[in-house]
């Protein structure tokens, strides 16, 4: 079992009456990317060329090709450096006893979720990449974040054209071209100060930033995409050097965890379709404890994407993913942390976004996590526990966004971009129940979250 919680933010700085001042400060501070701006400078095109709403991460077909080609398209005329910051206001339906996080109030918190620096762009004709270092305001610490460096080339096999490459990365699916997989999946940002469901498949962030992987990929005739590789645990000393806190307490990989991906894609006029499979098969030492053997997991995912764009006013993106995780928890059972060896977990996500002129966007997302009951693995505990030993959580995400810049004629293009968003997450079920789900009186709806954010990139 893996818990995917990445907490980021900053000490609370006030109460809700400061919200108008917060919005005004964002508008004053920001001027015309998660493109990133270094990519826009390199390619000479606006952010809207690569991203569905002129501010990522959701990619257009051109954006997917740019990533597939190792971030090498265009000519790098400057040092490929960028930076970004995410500022937010967070409110849950009911206070979080003891504070939403250390140094934060029980509710109505302002935060600097993260401040990141990037090296991102072309290094040579066949080599490019992205490396991110992030300061977490919640953790008050700096560490490495996402990494994806690529070598790429082209070849022919008979009548088939083949683009092939290698990706060195530190988070399974972060190298993926489609936003239907966990690495860059919807919602693209979210509250770091609200309770989150405890259960998620390992592939959904379970070994992110603690392992290093090398995958080989190929695209045949722009239709078939294939990828295969593996991930290996970094040493605790290396993780300490990279800013990972208490790496000895993490679930450590045993050997190499295989990763696979296959996708079929097709463009038909203004419509784009893709469907694929992906997966990860890690063996883990729970909490880094080697004394009782290991746990094994097999994550097998299916995903699909549909996009429509008329090239001017209207665009629609819809994505669906399903991950089935089979668990063999020999070590956790021996240690008393699991009630049984054989368990399973299912995660379903669906989202659709409509954007007008790549400036105004509205999104709806649905999610459902369900799995085997396990009284030891999912035990009662205030807020993040389960009263009935079930991992089941279900809910929705509603979001409205404004992206004033990021177009070729925008002010400040290609140096800066901004996304302002209002997001609401609602729960029908949380950690196995709707009322008193944790055994201490908390209801699923108490964790409903209003999240207002400003996402700036320069």
The CATH number given to whatever domain includes residue 204 is: 2.40.160.10
Q: Is residue 344 part of a domain?
A: yes
Q: Is residue 105 part of a domain?
A: yes
Q: 273 in a domain, yes or no? A: yes
| pLDDT confidence of residue 48 | 77
Domain count, the chain: 1
180, 185, 207, 275 from 215: Cα distances, Å:
19, 20, 16, 20
Residue 430 lies in a domain: yes
Q: What is the mean pLDDT of each run of 10 residues along the chain (458 residues)?
A: 33 37 36 57 76 83 91 79 94 96 96 93 93 92 96 95 98 96 94 96 97 98 98 97 94 98 97 98 97 98 97 94 98 98 98 95 98 97 97 98 84 80 98 97 98 94
Closest C-alpha among 217, 198, 195 to residue 206: 198
The whole-number pLDDT of residue 3 equals: 35
Q: Is residue 57 part of a domain?
A: yes
Is the residue at 359 inside a domain? yes
CB 306 within 8 A of CB 273: yes
Q: What is the pLDDT of residue 28?
A: 35
For the chain, percent helix, then strand, then coil, each to nearest 5? 10, 45, 40
* Inside any domain, residue 5: no
Place of tokens 């968003």: 421
- 259 close to 229: Cβ distance less than 8 angstroms: yes
Backbone φ, ψ for residue 406 (5° rounding): 95, -5
Residue 6 lies in a domain: no
Nearest to 94 by CA among 391, 440, 380, 346: 440
The pTM is what?
0.89
DSSP 8-class letter at 200: B
Q: Is the dihedral of CA 330, 336, 337, 340 positive or negative?
A: positive
Domain hosting residue 212, numbered range = 16-457
Q: Specify the pLDDT at position 13.
A: 38
């Amino acid at each position: 079992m893996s818990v995917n919680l990445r907490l980021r933010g900053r000490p609370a700085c006030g109460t809700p009456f400061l919200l108008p001042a917060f919005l005004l400060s964002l508008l004053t501070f920001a001027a015309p990317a998660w493109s990133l701006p270094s990519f826009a400078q390199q390619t000479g095109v606006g952010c809207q060329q690569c991203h569905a709403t002129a501010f990522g991460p959701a990619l257009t077909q051109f954006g997917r090709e740019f990533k597939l080609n190792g971030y090498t398209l265009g000519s790098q005329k400057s040092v490929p450096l960028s930076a970004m910051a995410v500022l937010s206001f967070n409110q849950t339906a009911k206070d979080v006893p003891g504070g939403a996080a250390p140094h934060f109030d029980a509710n109505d918190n302002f935060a600097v979720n993260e401040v990141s620096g990037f090296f991102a762009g072309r290094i040579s004709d066949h080599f490019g990449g992205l490396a991110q270092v992030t300061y977490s305001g919640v953790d008050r610490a700096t560490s490495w974040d996402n990494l994806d460096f690529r070598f790429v080339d082209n070849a022919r096999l008979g009548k088939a054209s083949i683009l092939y490459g290698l990706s060195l990365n530190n988070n399974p699916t972060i190298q993926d071209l489609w936003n239907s997989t966990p690495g860059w999946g919807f919602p693209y940002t979210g509250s770091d100060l609200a309770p989150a469901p405890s259960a998620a498949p390992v592939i959904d962030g379970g070994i992110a930033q603690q392992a290093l992987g090398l995958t080989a990929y190929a695209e045949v005739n722009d239709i078939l995409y294939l990828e295969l590789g593996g991930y290996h645990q970094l040493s605790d000393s290396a993780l300490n050097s990279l800013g990972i806190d208490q790496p000895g307490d993490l679930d450590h990989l045993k050997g190499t965890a295989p990763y696979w991906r296959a996708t079929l894609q097709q463009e038909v006029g203004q419509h784009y379709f893709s469907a694929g499979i992906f997966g990860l098969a890690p063996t883990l030492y729970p909490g880094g404890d080697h004394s009782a053997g290991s746990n094994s997991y097999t994550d097998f995912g299916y995903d699909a994407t549909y996009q429509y764009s008329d090239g001017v006013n209207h665009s629609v993106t819809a994505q669906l993913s399903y991950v089935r995780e089979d668990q063999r928890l020999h070590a956790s059972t021996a240690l008393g942390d699991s009630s049984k060896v054989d368990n399973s977990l299912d995660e379903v996500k669906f989202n659709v976004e409509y954007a007008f002129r790549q400036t105004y966007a509205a999104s709806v997302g649905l999610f459902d996590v369900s799995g085997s009951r396990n009284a030891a693995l999912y035990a009662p505990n205030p807020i993040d526990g389960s009263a009935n030993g079930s991992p089941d959580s279900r809910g929705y995400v509603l979001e409205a966004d404004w992206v004033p810049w990021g177009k070729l004629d925008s002010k400040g293009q290609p140096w800066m971009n901004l996304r302002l968003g209002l997001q609401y997450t609602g729960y029908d079920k949380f950690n196995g129940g709707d009322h008193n789900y944790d055994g201490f009186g908390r209801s699923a709806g108490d964790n409903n979250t209003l999240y207002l954010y400003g996402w700036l990139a320069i």
